[in-house]
Amino acid sequence: MSNLVGIEYNRVTNVTSTDFPGHQPGDHSWDIEKFKDSFDINITNISDGVATFDLIHIDTSIANAFRRIMIAEVPSVAAETVYVFMNTSFIQDEVLAQRIGLIPLKVDPDQLSWVDKTIDENDRYTEDNTIVLSLNVSCSKNSNSKSSNDPKEMYKNSHVYAKDLKFEPQGIQQEKFKDSPVVPTNPDILLAKLRPGQEISLRAHCILGIGSDHAKFSPVATASYRLLPVINIKEPITGELAKKFKKCFPPGVIDINSKGEAYVKDARKDTVSREVLRHSEFDGKVSLGRQRDYFIFNVESTGAMSPEEIFFKSVRVLKNKAEYLRACPINQ
């Protein structure tokens, strides 16, 4: 029970932790070998954009460190500086630049080096640390469309999309990105709308960055976790009461067996709504909780990297932090 967070009608119990990860009553030590034997990762779903996996028997501080690092410290590439040569659209230069900066780019961050801010600005950006994208679009009337009222048919280039950004390789980038050209992860992001006589001409310089500097560098759309719900049926619940009990939970959580008894089918689907605790007929028959060291992660990528790669990079970042801390003179 010490490993469960209790869910009651009007409060949450057993929420305090200790200063020792993996601590249990009577044992104030932490053993790396014991951790290796108990720790587990269970992957439930992986696709190009979303991954769901479980981290089992790990301390909250470590699980939350992974979440925060994925959001704020895993590097990715985004537009940092936009040089506008011509913009006669309705969108102001600074707003257009911001929209371009927020477009996720499919670029392996390991292929670029970090910009050295100590170098003079004229020499700071090179083919090793900067990617150049250009946008040159002008709108004109479409002479072949006479009866349509749809701007997309009436005009050429009436809508400017992310796919209109063109990669301009610099130096060795032609060879470096030959197999993986730099493109927006979603080509149909709308940047602006134009009408005949309006045009946009600009160049965007894209560099490495991290989400703690600006959200545009964050490689995840969402990175979250929740604790595994625990539903303990203490006494048999049968008949009409079992049907009512089943309705107290989201679909798929509770089912009724051939004997007419309610049982827990899939606790993962539970949202811990506490609805069952509102009914006096279930007093003493069920207890709710969450397992303290069982984390269900959901990572949704912006498309720049696969979600599993984002997690692997977060592990690498945390490892580098630990090695740096161990090497500090204060710890020697």
Give the alpha-carbon dihedral of 11, 24, 56, 270, to 10 degrees.
-20
Task: Using 50 as the pLDDT threshold, list the residues of the chain that sit under it.
Answer: none
Residue 6 CA to residue 16 CA, distance in Å, equals 11
Give residue for tokens 């469960």: 4
* pLDDT reported for residue 265: 94
76-217 topology per CATH: RNA Polymerase Alpha Subunit; Chain A, domain 2 (2.170.120)
pTM score: 0.86
CA–chain centroid gap for 144, Å, is 45
pLDDT of residue 19: 53
The pLDDT value recorded for residue 142 is 86
Instruction: Give the homologous superfamily in CATH for domain 4-73+228-298.
Output: RNA polymerase, RBP11-like subunit (3.30.1360.10)
The DSSP letter of residue 330 is G
8 Å CB contact between 269 and 253: yes
Helices (H), the chain: 32-38, 60-72, 93-101, 121-124, 151-154, 173-176, 239-247, 307-327
Break the chain into its structural domains and give their ranges: 4-73+228-298, 76-217
Q: What angle do CA 270, 268, 63 make, to 5 degrees?
A: 110
Angle at 121 between CA 91 and CA 203, to 5 degrees: 30
Q: Distance of CA 79 to CAs 1, 34, 48, Å?
A: 50, 46, 23
Dihedral class, residue 171 (left if φ above 0, else alpha if ψ from -120 to 50, else beta) = left
Cα 24 to Cα 207: distance, rounded to the nearest angstrom: 46
What amino acid occupies position 1?
M
Question: How many whole angstroms separate alpha carbon 138 and alpha carbon 160?
Answer: 9
Contact 222, 300 (CB under 8 A): yes
Q: Is 32 exposed, middle or buried (0-12, 13-18, 19+ CB in 10 A)?
A: exposed
